[in-house]
Amino acid sequence: MKPLIGISCGTFHDRDWCPPSFGHRQTYVDAILRAGGAPLLIPPVPDELTLRILFDRLDGLLLAGGGDIAPANYGAEPHANLGTVDPLRDSAELPMARWAVAEGKPVLGICRGIQVLNVALGGTLYQDIPSEIENALAHNLSYEREDWTHLAHELRLAPGSRLRQLLGVERLLVNSLHHQAVRKLAPGLRAVAWAPDDVIEAVEGSGEGFVVGVQCHPEALQGGADPRWQRLFAAFVNSCGTEQRRAARAA
């Protein structure tokens, strides 16, 4: 049996007169498939009971990339440079992130996903890096270059972190397609990677369970640009497939 990995969907608007679509980029699905998981797209359903039914079926949760989280979720007023928000998606992802951490269901957050993890557990965000952090790097450089594999800046990984152990290096170059970042770190998370300007680029849970968030887009690198990132997806999917987790689900 392959572990069932839920990928939380974003809302996509193509034409004004068409209903929006729920979905995600193929690279997330590819990365989970390559790692041996069975990917399942989770729509942002509006009621928590239905959301819970979907969540309960999952062996692991992938919080994928996307737009900005509505700042009211972390007690802030909207900044002038706040990007597009998706309140329905917020209302689905924030509870699922909290459930996953509380119940020991493995969770991997990517880009928006690291931000969802942090906000769900009580942290806050920079709403716009260029206008809120002095001398910040160009964290949206890969987006501006229109190249998901463009290596925009270095990461420095914390000793003793899961990520450093998996990647086997202290520093590496990553893509960067974000204008928001973790500000106040949530209780229960620790920072494990930083950009050269000290922006937090990865977090891990303080407990035993698999709780990892990265600000870069490893799903876009693992297929060729930097195959070392396959190890992150493999570790995530493996942690979802352990006998212990299956036993816990059956109980």
Is the C-alpha dihedral spanning 209, 213, 218, 219 positive or negative? positive
| Cα 92 to Cα 50: distance, rounded to the nearest angstrom | 10
Any catalytic annotation for residue 111? yes
| Smallest distance from Mn ion to CB 155, Å | 8
> With respect to Mn ion, which residue has the nearer C-beta, 24 or 139?
139
Nearer to Mn ion, 48 or 147 (CB): 147
Find tokens 């459930």 and name the residue. 99
Task: Identify the burial level of 225 via C-beta atoms within 10 angstroms of its C-beta, where 0-12 means exposed, 13-18 middle and 19 or more buried.
Answer: middle
Q: Which residues, in sequence order, are bridge partners of residue 174?
A: 153
- Closest distance to Mn ion from the beta carbon of 164 (Å): 17
* 176 lies in the binding site for Mn ion (CB under 5 A): yes
Which span sits near Mn ion by CB under 5 A: 28-36, 56-64, 132-140, 224-232? Answer: 132-140
Q: Which stretch binds Mn ion (CB under 5 A): 52-60, 140-148, 158-166, 168-176?
A: 168-176
Residue 154 burial (10 A CB sphere; 0-12, 13-18, 19+) = middle
Q: Which of 66, 31, 63 has the alpha carbon at shortest distance from 235?
A: 31
Compute the least distance from the CB of residue 61 to Mn ion, in Å.
23
- Candidates 37-45, 154-162, 174-182, 218-226; binding stretch for Mn ion (CB under 5 A): 174-182
Cα Dmax for the chain: 52
At its nearest, how many Å lie between Mn ion and the CB of residue 43? 29
Q: Is 139 in the site for Mn ion (CB under 5 A)?
A: yes
Whether 219 is catalytic is yes
User: Is position 18 annotated as part of the catalytic site?
Assistant: no
Active-site residue, selected from the candidate residues 201, 216, 217, 240: 217
Measured from the Cβ of residue 129, the count of other Cβ atoms closer than 10 Å reads 22
Q: How far is the CA of 103 from the CAs of 14, 56, 58, 76, in angstroms?
A: 37, 11, 12, 28
Q: Which residue is nearest to Mn ion (CB)?
A: 176
The least distance separating Mn ion from the CB of residue 53, rounded to whole angstroms, comes to 36
Which residue among 9, 111, 216, 240 is the active-site one? 111
Residues that bind Mn ion (CB under 5 A): 139, 176
Catalytic residues: 111, 217, 219
